[in-house]
A and B are shown apart, each in its own frame.
Chain A
Amino acid sequence: MADLSTNFVGITSPNPFWLASAPPTDKAYNVVRAFKAGWGGVVWKTLGEDGPPIVNVNGPRYGAVWGADRRLLGLNNIELITDRPLEVNLREIKQVKRDWPDRAMVVSLMVPCDEDSWRDILKRVEETEADGVELNFGCPHGMSERGMGSAVGQVPEYIEMVARWCKKHSRMPVIVKLTPNITDIRYPARAARAGGADAVSLINTISSITSVNLDSFSPEPMIDGKGTHGGYCGPAVKPIALNMVAEIARDPETYGLPISGIGGVTTWRDAAEFLALGAGNVQVCTAAMTYGFKVVQEMISGLSQYLDEKGMSLDELRGRAVPNVTDWQYLNLNHVTKARIDQDLCIKCGRCYAACEDTSHQAISMSPERVFEVIDAECVACNLCVNVCPVDECITMETLAPGMVDARTGRVVSPAHADWTTHPNNPMASAAE
């Protein structure tokens, strides 16, 4: 078994799987069950300032998008931060940390945007001996209407200011949780670093309406005939989260800033992908809410088997894909591929034919005997046939070796790299070296 123990900004945990701040971490009962099941750490459900507790709606809080067989692909919620008294949460955090010293205990916070509020709450969290704090600048509904959550996360100056207060008033590591509801994730990440934050975590949920009720004409989830946008999460948001993590990992201004990867982590593979794109660990919410805490056991066994098979340590996996994330303009235009259909594997469904014929480049032929073949002279190698084929490995992309002729263009494949920056059609092109 590979060693999965993790040190994230000085916070150690037996594995890189943490539960994200959300209902699964709202009280000691859940968190203790999670630790028993094997989770490496938790970010406690976001705490607000002392005073009358937050109220939630009393109708449905969630909307959902399903795939085949009602597999939950996306979840959206209109829940607010914890609605339990601050005192109770702090007491439980202290007790659980004491009982489970080897697990990571991070406390998520969201208080009004003034220095005193942050100083006060930090003092109280410090007394629990929690390992660190996460600043929730991400919640896109409810709290943002009150000037908190994503209302802060959308203004880099505020992020920097609050992060600085927190570093000033606390010795704990500070993780800034970013909202994806912005145009360029690098700006808030840079602001977090400028404010002295130890790390960023992302993504929080994406503003969304999951569906519209076509009888009552209101968004779902519907509360007394009305709906509001919620925050989207689950498997559907993973591609968005991966991109944002990669953007921060490769930005020269935030390069090396520790990242806690969040958004759609459902299996060990998802986690490994976040780690390869530079995340130091991952946080999970929807997968736990869908399947219960036991899913972590598959994540642990899968990740360690993968590392063993690769003969790689967790540290060696971390960031390994970052150097291969680049801009479109640097992609090699001399890399030519063609689709290949394995006739032995083909089940003759014809989906590739329909896709290419109707929506792409008419590059697949169909014989009366239902034999499907790629027409190299038409194939632009878009990959659509590969993606719609129901048989694993039946259609693959073959790379043409240098010296071969691309039947579509009639040109010999060159061994040299050539990209848009040097392309003759590019008015801004610099001369090829």
Chain B
Amino acid sequence: MSSTPPRPAPAGITAPGIVAGRLPAEALADNFTDVLPPLDRHEAIVAADRCYFCHDAPCVTACPTEIDIPLFIRQIATGTPEAAARTIFDQNILGGMCARVCPTEALCEGACVREMAEGKPVEIGRLQRFATDRLMAEGVHPYDRAAPTGRRVAVVGAGPAGLACAHRLAMKGHEVTLYDARPRPGGLNEYGIAAYKTPGDFAAEEVDWLLSIGGITLETGRALGGDLSLEGLREDFDAVFLGIGLGGVNALNAEGEDREGVQDAVAFIAELRQSADLSTLPVGRHVVVIGGGMTAVDAAVQSRLLGAEHVTIVYRRGRERMSASDHEIEHAQTAGVKIITDAMPVAVHGNGAVAEVEFAYTEDGPEGLRPRPETFRLHADQVFKAIGQRLEGAPGGLDLAGGKIAVTGAGRTSLPGIWAGGDCAAGGDDLTVTAVAQGRDAAEDIHTSLMTG
């Protein structure tokens, strides 16, 4: 897989400092279209034909939402993509987004028997997109709500976890109020995922489509810890689900970290995702990204796509420890991003604004990671911190585990009547699909406890 590397536009690319308009508009449009174009009907049939319809298929086990993949692919192969979409949505109501953003090489496609046999898995993600796009294009919502139960549930956070939870609860006949602190729903689908994975306004369209089941009242601009309190919600509702993600950002702990030009990668990406005109979005000529995960890769790649001339990712441990997958690292390298490993920042130099970042080489010993005396400097007019997000603003009174909300079973917190799922809850990978699975499972558990309790 490859994305088109930025077209040279010499005037803009070499301009010093953090400036907008490094690339002409059509180059930007090209760079930010679908990284993987959708399959057409014939391509889908050919791709579907490669599925062996494995018994107890390993791809299903590898999917956190356990979509019945062989069944939906067979449904595509036999000319019924709408039925295929229903098979997907039964398990994962955000199957459309997951088809675009899941690291499939580490999930379903990584487990495909044809990956083992030939290194060429069935293209499950793209087939999933083919089916879900087809059904969503029909503009009808495929699910009906059960008879009203008279129960009311508050869902806090309209990211993948909260949306999946709210949808499943609405389907079961409960009344849901969905709160989010931000002006738009979608969570990181709307503010975080790389723009070239979900071009257009897909995230917002998907949320509208999901909410069209009815029974979900969306209230944006309402924050837990702001005008909402956990005690208030517990009083007003029969159950509460928390899907508030990870709002905080870790610090570098390097001297000069507060210099102008040093920025949080997630905030940069959010700004990019919300930008109506990418030619007005400023980016540096020399960009340094510190971190080794998906956020680091996305900030680096999108800087390049905006026209940054030199982009370097620096990670403190070895490449094999980077949490970005091989596939993503390769994608970054194809886009022209340089990757340096085994180095950590010790100081940010500059005269007001950042000019250079100084790194020390590291060594991993029995006492953990340590800087070595030897250092080097990278030229930088923009620095992105992508060294992990952490839970911020979790209501007091909840037990934590590893800095996240502690849960047992299907998302039960230490307080009765309160469930949590997605990135803010302990356990599972921080992925869209995992958030969907946890939101869905918590909804099932809430339903059981409301109907039997």
Q: Which A residues fall within an 8 A CB radius of B?
A: 69, 267-269, 291-292, 294-295, 297-298, 301-302, 305, 391-392
Contacts and interface: CB of A to CB of B under 8 A. Distances in A.
A305 B83 contact: yes
- Highest count of chain A CB atoms <10 Å: which of B70, B78, B87: B78
B325 to A, nearest CB: 28
Contacts, number: 37
A298 B71 contact: yes
> Which 9 pairs from chain A and chain B are nearest by CB?
A301-B83, A267-B78, A302-B80, A291-B53, A298-B74, A298-B75, A292-B55, A305-B80, A305-B83
Contacts of A269: 78-79
A301 B86 contact: yes
A38 B41 CA distance: 29
Contact of B80 (A69, A301, A392): A301
20 contacts: A69-B50, A269-B78, A269-B79, A292-B53, A292-B55, A294-B70, A294-B71, A295-B53, A297-B71, A298-B80, A301-B80, A301-B86, A301-B87, A302-B75, A302-B78, A302-B79, A305-B82, A305-B83, A392-B41, A392-B42
Interface in B66-85: 70-71, 74-75, 78-80, 82-83
A69 B78 contact: no
Nearest to B72: A298
Contacts of A291: 53
Given A291-B53, A301-B80, 20 more contacts: A69-B49, A267-B78, A268-B80, A269-B78, A269-B79, A295-B53, A297-B71, A298-B74, A298-B75, A298-B78, A298-B83, A301-B83, A301-B86, A302-B78, A302-B80, A302-B83, A305-B80, A305-B82, A391-B42, A392-B42
Contacts of B71: 294, 297-298
Nearest to B49: A69
B78 A268 contact: yes
| Listed residue (A267, A291, A301) with the most chain B CB atoms within 10 angstroms of its CB | A301
Contacts of A391: 42
A422 to B, nearest CB: 40
A253 to B, nearest CB: 36
A269 B74 CA distance: 13
A169 to B, nearest CB: 42
Contacts of A267: 78
Interface string B160-202: 0000000000000000000000000000000000000000000
Nearest to A308: B82
Contacts of A295: 53, 74
A392 B40 CA distance: 12
A392 B87 CA distance: 26
Nearest to B78: A267
Interface string B398-417: 00000000000000000000
Contacts of B53: 291-292, 295
Nearest to A291: B53
Nearest to A302: B80
A69 B82 CA distance: 26
A51 B67 CA distance: 48
A407 to B, nearest CB: 32
Contacts of A69: 49-50
Nearest to A71: B49
Nearest to A266: B78
A302 B87 CA distance: 12
Which of A69, A298, A392 counts the most B-chain CB atoms under 10 A from its CB? A298
A294 B78 CA distance: 15
A298 B70 CA distance: 10
A41 B410 CA distance: 37
B332 to A, nearest CB: 34
Contacts of B49: 69
A295 B75 CA distance: 10
Contacts of A294: 70-71
A292 B49 CA distance: 17
A98 B396 CA distance: 56
A291 B53 CA distance: 7
Contacts of B75: 298, 301-302
Nearest to B83: A301
Contacts of B83: 298, 301-302, 305
Contacts of A392: 41-42
Interface in B49-73: 49-50, 53, 55, 70-71
A269 B79 CA distance: 9
A302 B42 CA distance: 19
Contacts of B86: 301
A308 to B, nearest CB: 10
Nearest to B77: A267
A269 B83 CA distance: 14
A268 B82 CA distance: 14
Contacts of A297: 71
A72 to B, nearest CB: 11
A226 B87 CA distance: 47
